[in-house]
A and B are shown apart, each in its own frame.
Chain A
Amino acid sequence: MRLLSPEDWRDFPGKFIALWTDAHYAYALYQPAQLVATPLVDGAYPALSHRGAAWFQRLAHDSNGHKAIGAADTRPAIEHFRSPDGTAAWPEFSSPGGEGIHQVAVGPIHAAIIEPGHFRFSLRGEEVLKLEARLGYSHKGTLGLIRGKSPRLAARFAARVSGDATVAHGIAFAHAAEAALGVTPPERAVYLRAVMAEIERLANHGGDIGAIAGDVGFAFLDARFAWHREALCEAARAAFGHRLMMDMVIPGGAAGDILPGGMAAILAAVLALENELPSLTRVFEDYASLQDRLVGTGIVSPQLAQAYAAGGFTGRASGQDHDARVSPGYAPYEHFGLEIPVEQDGDVAARIRIRLAEIIESIRFIRDMLKNLPDGALAVAMPAESGSGLGVAESFRGPVWYWLSIDSGVITDVFIADASTLQWPLLEIAATTAILADFPLINKSINASYSGVDL
């Protein structure tokens, strides 16, 4: 960690990942894994001009009461209903000026089976001029629950920051705890973690691609991808005892070994997906009515992606070649030569193409890792020592970062940055490149987590 003067802190160049505060410092994290800090003065620190910093500064204000001096955006992040009677008034949502502009309010309860959040659209006819996402509805106080617990106990909360990325969150949390306490997990556990992470990626990529197709009337694709998702979840249950593989990753290793028959179940599920993927992909490519809805819809330009240092398939569909499995990188991926697909178009179609390409890579990883699965122990004990550490894992939607401060084996402070934090603002902008009816597609194509940022 580098300690900076307030001026150097404010002007620090680099690709911004996250910002948070503890009792004494404000911290900022830059790619690939550079941590800087500046002392808090009267509970305040200079605001950063990086576009992605705004949400983090709002969150630091709501959760720790710390002020970002000079911040342009001071809307609440998670504290919406502070009044004792539980009825906070709605805020004013501003619209761009002009004739015939009206607002459409959606949520916090949505039409589909998804998490809560409020979207306020400003429209001229069908054209979206502005989208403001008001989040925080899933706030459960997770950071507070992690403090005061041992890494082993706290892993249960990391696994529930965003259930669709439970394995990736588990790995990132374990990496941070292991870095803080100088622990190296056994090789077999490292491989099993990676196998689980890739199954999770396959299940989510497939499910989301199918759901987008379903939204534009291709129910057949939706049904087939949902079938594969189901097969992968059942394979995960056969191999690890849980359909989402929750609580299988623990600091120091893995909670259990792969079950008898589990390997065969996983290989059968990925083979079925591999066999059908070419014909499913062809449907995407061949149908003008499908392409018409996806191409040129919900554009995130490469410049914008760069300004937000967007990770995950959202960044990779917009010219960014970042993948945390490679940079900063972590075991065991260095043995498997990851190909990072990159596209420039930044639309819904490009994000689907990236995810289709990643499915093929993940299938290869899973086979290679299972074939080369090392023997040996599954976990080592976490010593009751002190230290602080950073950890990262590439979830299906992008990098997940954890920062932990541990004192005598007890976590004294924690911060979690899900990839979604930098993707929500991109969704707000991408929505303005299309009409309101396309928003569900754009939203699904980025699939930012609500719970992952509501912390």
Chain B
Amino acid sequence: MVWKTIARHFIAQPAAPRKANSAAVAALRQRLTAAGHEKLGRSLAIRHVAAGSCNGCELELRATQNLIYDLTQYGLSFTPSPRHADILLITGVAGGNMLTAVREAREAMPDPVLVIAVGDCAVDGGVFKGSPAIAGGADAMLQVDLVVAGCPPAPAQIIEGLLALLEANDTAPRPVRVPR
């Protein structure tokens, strides 16, 4: 029975789980409430597109959903459908073979759309800058509202960036750089 396994696990595991800093979580949640509600409603959906990554950024993006970071507590969640998405989140460079797919994904999203570039590759091509196989970073394909630097950025930095994006967009979209 699963409940037995769960019970056994809690009895047999004295090691305390790592907890996110609760003060930081509370502060982030508050900021989201202030900025997000007024701009785009109660919750925001993110469509992620890997446009030419090494898959390192995807690992950290997925980690934002784990027990420790639990992205959904901020009202943010990933959606497979661009039609349901408010945020287009790009990882990786603007790979030549992905340009059409990225354009089509953007066109499938209802306006307003916020675009966020996560990871050094998406910021400006990262280490792959100058390769003839790529067009540059995400801004070679789309108008980018915010970049989160790092190779790859840690999950906490990604969440910070998403919240900063919501705050920054209380007027017109404008680029904001999240420090490492």
B127 on the A face (CB < 8 A): yes
Question: Could you tell me if A109 and B151 are in contact, using CB atoms closer than 8 angstroms?
Answer: no
Residue in chain A with minimal CB distance to B98: A137
Question: Could you tell me if B66 and A163 are in contact, using CB atoms closer than 8 angstroms?
Answer: no
A268 on the B face (CB < 8 A): yes
Please tell me the size bucket of the interface on B.
35 or more
Residue in chain B with minimal CB distance to A112: B80
The contact string, 1 if C-beta is below 8 Å from chain A, for chain B 53-89, is: 1111111111101111000000000101000000000
What is the minimal beta-carbon distance from A80 to any residue of chain B, in angstroms? Answer: 5
* A237 contact set on B, CB distance < 8 A: 154
Question: Could you tell me if B68 and A243 are in contact, using CB atoms closer than 8 angstroms?
Answer: no
* A164 contact set on B, CB distance < 8 A: 55-56, 59
B132 in complex: contacting residue of A109, A144, A223, A230, CB < 8 Å = A144
* B96 contact set on A, CB distance < 8 A: 81, 86, 139
Question: Could you tell me if A272 and B151 are in contact, using CB atoms closer than 8 angstroms?
Answer: no
B105 on the A face (CB < 8 A): yes
**Partner-binding segment picked from B8-16, B163-171, B172-180:** B8-16
* A144 contact set on B, CB distance < 8 A: 131-133
What is the minimal beta-carbon distance from A32 to any residue of chain B, in angstroms? Answer: 28
Question: Could you tell me if B59 and A230 are in contact, using CB atoms closer than 8 angstroms?
Answer: no
- Complex CA distance for A395 and B18, rounded to whole angstroms: 28
A276 touching B9 in the complex, CB below 8 Å, given contacts A137-B101, A226-B67? yes
A320 on the B face (CB < 8 A): no
Residue in chain B with minimal CB distance to A63: B133
* B66 contact set on A, CB distance < 8 A: 223, 226-227, 229-230
Question: Could you tell me if B12 and A279 are in contact, using CB atoms closer than 8 angstroms?
Answer: yes
Residue in chain A with minimal CB distance to B135: A86
Question: Could you tell me if A113 and B58 are in contact, using CB atoms closer than 8 angstroms?
Answer: yes
Question: Could you tell me if A139 and B52 are in contact, using CB atoms closer than 8 angstroms?
Answer: yes
- Complex CA distance for A312 and B128, rounded to whole angstroms: 28
Question: Could you tell me if A113 and B48 are in contact, using CB atoms closer than 8 angstroms?
Answer: yes
A215 on the B face (CB < 8 A): no
- Complex CA distance for A244 and B53, rounded to whole angstroms: 15
A450 on the B face (CB < 8 A): yes
A330 on the B face (CB < 8 A): no
A335 on the B face (CB < 8 A): no
The contact string, 1 if C-beta is below 8 Å from chain B, for chain A 84-113, is: 001100000000000000000000110111
* B30 contact set on A, CB distance < 8 A: none
What is the minimal beta-carbon distance from B50 to any residue of chain A, in angstroms? Answer: 5
Question: Could you tell me if B101 and A108 are in contact, using CB atoms closer than 8 angstroms?
Answer: yes
B53 in complex: contacting residue of A156, A271, A283, A451, CB < 8 Å = A451
A227 in complex: contacting residue of B55, B67, B101, B131, CB < 8 Å = B67
A230 touching B51 in the complex, CB below 8 Å, given contacts A140-B93, A223-B67, A279-B12? no
- Complex CA distance for A249 and B5, rounded to whole angstroms: 40
Within 8 A of B (CB), among A41-94: 78, 80-81, 86-87
A140 in complex: contacting residue of B5, B6, B59, B134, CB < 8 Å = B134
Question: Could you tell me if B59 and A109 are in contact, using CB atoms closer than 8 angstroms?
Answer: no
Question: Could you tell me if A141 and B131 are in contact, using CB atoms closer than 8 angstroms?
Answer: yes
B161 on the A face (CB < 8 A): no
Question: Could you tell me if B98 and A116 are in contact, using CB atoms closer than 8 angstroms?
Answer: yes
A449 in complex: contacting residue of B6, B51, B55, B95, CB < 8 Å = B55
- Complex CA distance for A230 and B132, rounded to whole angstroms: 36
Residue in chain A with minimal CB distance to B47: A109
B97 on the A face (CB < 8 A): yes
The contact string, 1 if C-beta is below 8 Å from chain B, for chain A 133-151, is: 0001111111011000000
* B52 contact set on A, CB distance < 8 A: 137-140
The contact string, 1 if C-beta is below 8 Å from chain B, for chain A 250-272, is: 00000000000000000010011
A336 on the B face (CB < 8 A): no
Give the most central of A141, A231, A450: most B CB within 10 Å: A141
* B95 contact set on A, CB distance < 8 A: 137-140
- Complex CA distance for A444 and B62, rounded to whole angstroms: 14
B99 on the A face (CB < 8 A): yes
Question: Could you tell me if B61 and A230 are in contact, using CB atoms closer than 8 angstroms?
Answer: no
Question: Could you tell me if B100 and A86 are in contact, using CB atoms closer than 8 angstroms?
Answer: yes
A28 on the B face (CB < 8 A): no
B interface residues with partner A (beta carbon < 8 Å): 2, 5-6, 8-9, 12-13, 15, 17-18, 48-63, 65-68, 78, 80, 92-93, 95-101, 105, 127-128, 130-134, 151-152, 154
Known: A220-B2, A244-B59. 9 other contacts (CB 8 A): A109-B49, A114-B55, A139-B52, A140-B131, A141-B131, A141-B133, A229-B66, A271-B15, A279-B5
Instruction: Sort A-B residue pairs by CB-CB distance and give the 10 closest, nearest first.
Output: A163-B56, A141-B133, A111-B80, A141-B131, A163-B54, A226-B66, A160-B54, A163-B55, A137-B97, A140-B128
A selection of 28 A-B contacts at a CB cut-off of 8 Å is: A81-B96, A81-B99, A87-B100, A111-B80, A113-B50, A139-B97, A140-B95, A141-B132, A141-B133, A144-B133, A145-B128, A145-B130, A156-B127, A160-B127, A163-B54, A163-B57, A164-B59, A166-B56, A223-B67, A237-B154, A243-B60, A243-B152, A244-B152, A275-B15, A276-B9, A276-B12, A283-B5, A450-B55
A interface residues with partner B (beta carbon < 8 Å): 78, 80-81, 86-87, 108-109, 111-116, 136-142, 144-145, 156-157, 160-164, 166, 207, 220, 223-224, 226-227, 229-231, 233-234, 237, 243-244, 246, 268, 271-272, 275-276, 279, 282-283, 286-287, 449-451
